[in-house]
Amino acid sequence: AYDEHGNRRVTVAYGDGIGPEIMEATLRVLKAAGAKIAPEIVEIGEKVYERGVSSGIDKDGWESLKRTNLFLKAPITTPLGGGVKSLNVTVRKTLGLYANVRPVKSYAPFVPSLHDNIDMVIVRENEEDCYAGIEHRHTSEVTQCIKLITVPGTARVCKYAFDYALTHGRKRVSCITKQNIMKITDGLFHRVFKRTADQYPTLESEHRIVDIATAQVASKPHLFDVIVTLNLYGDIISDVAAEVAGSVGLCGSANVGDRAAMFEAIHGSAPDIAGMDIANPSGLINGAIMMLGHIGQRDVAVTIKNALLKTIEDGIHTADIYREGKNSKQKVGCQAFADAVIERLGQLP
């Protein structure tokens, strides 16, 4: 997975819409910070779908991923219409990426948010639950989707959440389920969680029911540190949290498995502002920071994180977070924002 200079090989896709701009900005920041990576550029998304590849990723893409097991991915546009599969789902299943990790942070007062001091990490199981693709139409009036929850699937995501908490200086892991209604499936998830928690005596653990817990993510987000939950609940909670923190445009996420991992921004390809150099690259930069942590380049990750925070705190803002007369001082484009981050490498927020 390393080249002859000791650089970690990474498959990089520029994607669609604003993808190429934010990827260019991100790679420039990584390079300036001294990240030891060797990008292998592959094409994914619209152009590949148009060639009739139903997953949006072709042989070259897979071959690179087989070499690197590491993917830094810009957003893509999934064409509407039949015969098209979600690239994310295909990659996730093929590479066995069982944990989806989304840190959510508020940047108040620099970016408006509903609450200050939000700093939580949501670990969502990524392969099971109603997403296993087991859905049937029995008759024209009766349909069914099967919720699949297994001990091995639950155990590895719970272990991931506790290991993450340990290595990232977190204190508490909250398990979120609906075990009062789905006693067997969600009950299993909670039972495996408790068993895992016993192996991490230095970390606090707790369980909450999904309805009230989701409400609390919105109303009292400081209650949460690390959350681990089932696929569907995690999907919803992740978006609620990012929205409440006001950082949908700033969040990155990781999809992690035992041998491979994929890192990205949580937003889509935003075709409405593509090619205008006004997109905010922070989401993808945050994804890249997670990637550096994952491949053992923590120092570079921290350096970039500090420079990114300092840039935002200095009021250097892209249009999406610029607020006249508030904490914004200078409205910049995508590449100028990256330049501002590069200038601040080595500074603390």
Contact positions vs ligand ATP (CB under 6 A): 18, 75, 249, 267-270, 272-273, 279-280, 283, 320
What tokens does 265 get?
A: 């921004």
User: C-beta of 250: minimal distance to ligand ATP in Å?
Assistant: 8
User: C-beta of 242: minimal distance to Mg ion in Å?
Assistant: 11
d(CA 240, CA 247): 11
Of residues 147, 347, 119, the one with CA closest to residue 222: 119
Q: Is 265 within 8 Å of 75 (Cβ atoms)?
A: yes
249 binds, among ligand ATP, Mg ion, none (CB under 5 to 8 A by kind): ligand ATP
User: C-beta of 219: minimal distance to Mg ion in Å?
Assistant: 24
Question: Left, alpha or beta for 56 (phi > 0: left; psi -120 to 50: alpha)?
Answer: left
Nearer to Mg ion, 268 or 349 (CB): 268
272 binds, among Mg ion, ligand ATP, none (CB under 5 to 8 A by kind): ligand ATP
* Residue whose C-beta lies closest to ligand ATP: 268
Q: What is residue 349's DSSP assignment?
A: -
Q: How far is CA 173 from CA 115, 131, 163, 290, 349, in A?
A: 21, 24, 10, 19, 27
229 binds, among ligand ATP, Mg ion, none (CB under 5 to 8 A by kind): none
User: C-beta of 46: minimal distance to ligand ATP in Å?
Assistant: 11
What tokens does 64 get?
A: 């690179």
Nearer to ligand ATP, 154 or 253 (CB): 253
Q: What is the DSSP string of 94-110?
A: HHT--EEEEEEE--TTT
User: C-beta of 298: minimal distance to Mg ion in Å?
Assistant: 30
310 binds, among ligand ATP, Mg ion, none (CB under 5 to 8 A by kind): none
User: C-beta of 277: minimal distance to ligand ATP in Å?
Assistant: 11
Q: Is 253 within 8 Å of 71 (Cβ atoms)?
A: no
Nearer to ligand ATP, 50 or 258 (CB): 50
Residue 195 contacts by C-beta under 8 Å, 6 or more apart in sequence? 155
Question: By CB under 5 A, what part of segment 241-270 binds Mg ion?
Answer: 268
Nearer to ligand ATP, 20 or 96 (CB): 20
Of residues 107, 121, 239, 217, the one with CA closest to residue 170: 121
> Residue ranges of the alpha helices (H) in 108-230?
151-167, 185-197, 210-219
User: C-beta of 292: minimal distance to ligand ATP in Å?
Assistant: 20
Nearer to ligand ATP, 153 or 249 (CB): 249
Nearer to ligand ATP, 227 or 279 (CB): 279
61 binds, among Mg ion, ligand ATP, none (CB under 5 to 8 A by kind): none
Residue 73 contacts by C-beta under 8 Å, 6 or more apart in sequence? 12, 13, 15, 44, 262, 263, 264
Q: How far is CA 249 from CA 45, 55, 308, in A?
A: 21, 26, 14
Applying CB under 5 A, the site for Mg ion has a residue count of 1
User: C-beta of 31: minimal distance to ligand ATP in Å?
Assistant: 20
96 sits near Mg ion (criterion: CB under 5 A): no
73 binds, among Mg ion, ligand ATP, none (CB under 5 to 8 A by kind): none
Q: Which parts of this chain interact with Mg ion (CB under 5 A)?
A: 268
